[in-house]
Amino acid sequence: MAGTVAFGSVPTRQGDLFVAVTEDGVACVGWGDRGGWGEGGRAKARVLEGLNLPEVDDPGRTAAVLGELGDYYAGRLRVFSVPVDWRLTSPVQRKVLGTLYETVPYGKAVTYGELATRSQTGVPARAIGSIMGANPIPIIVPCHRVVAENGLGGFSGGEGVESKRWLLTMEGYLQPTLDWD
C-alpha cells in the first residue's frame, strides 16, 4: 500500500475542513485552520506519521472529496461516493465504522448500543463512543449520526456537541431551534 498523500481544505459553515487523500481514497477529514491543519500543524503531522507516506501537492486528487464535502454542507449531497482509505483504523475500528458507513444513511441516527449490536464485534456500547471519537474520517463516515439513548452523546469534531447538533439538524434528524441559522 505504498504511495503518497495529498492534502486539501474546503471552507464550511463549521469552519475549514481538511482532507488527506491517498491513491486509495480519503484517509482523514479534520477541522483546523489554514495555517497547518489546526493545533499548530500537529494534526497534519500525526496524519503523515500514521500514514507513513510522503506528502505531495496534488489538487486533482483532493478535488472530488472537497467538492462532495462542499456539496454536503450546501445541502446538495446526501450520499458520498468518494472512495475511503481505512488504513488509519484498526480492524475493530474498521468493522464498527464500516458498519456505520454502510447502514446509517443521511437523516437517520443509531444509538451507541444499536451500533455495537449491528457491528457484531463484541465491543460494548460505551466503547463505541471511543471509536466514534477516534474516527479519522468524520462527516463522510458519519459518526455524528451515533447518539446516546437519552440525548446526543458526545462529538469531538468542530465545536463539539454543537457541531453534532448542527449536522443532525441540517440532515433533518433533529428539528431546528429558533436560533438555528
Q: What's the whole-model pTM score?
A: 0.91
Active-site residue, 143 included: yes
> Going residue by residue through the chain (181 aa), what tens digit of pLDDT does each one get?
579 999 999 999 888 999 999 999 999 999 875 445 655 577 888 899 999 999 999 999 999 999 999 999 999 999 999 999 999 999 999 999 999 999 999 999 999 999 999 999 999 999 999 999 999 999 999 999 999 999 899 888 888 899 999 999 999 999 887 654 4
pLDDT of residue 176: 86
Handedness of CA 156, 162, 165, 166 (dihedral sign): negative
Confidence at residue 179, expressed as pLDDT on a 0 to 100 scale: 58
Instruction: Convert 24-45 into a string of H (helix), E (strand) and C (coil).
Output: CEEEEEEEECCCCCCHHHHHHH
Tell me which of 27, 123, 141, 143 is the catalytic residue.
Answer: 143
CA torsion through residues 31, 35, 39, 41, sign: positive
Do residues 106 and 75 touch, judged by C-beta distance below 8 A? Answer: no
* CA dihedral sign of residues 15, 16, 21, 25: positive
- Chain position carrying cell 444509538: 111
Q: List, in sequence order, the alpha helices (H) in 53-152.
A: 59-73, 91-103, 112-119, 125-133
Q: CB under 8 Å to 72, separation ≥6 — which residues?
A: 78, 80, 139
- Measured CA to CA, the distance from residue 75 to residue 70 in angstroms comes to 9
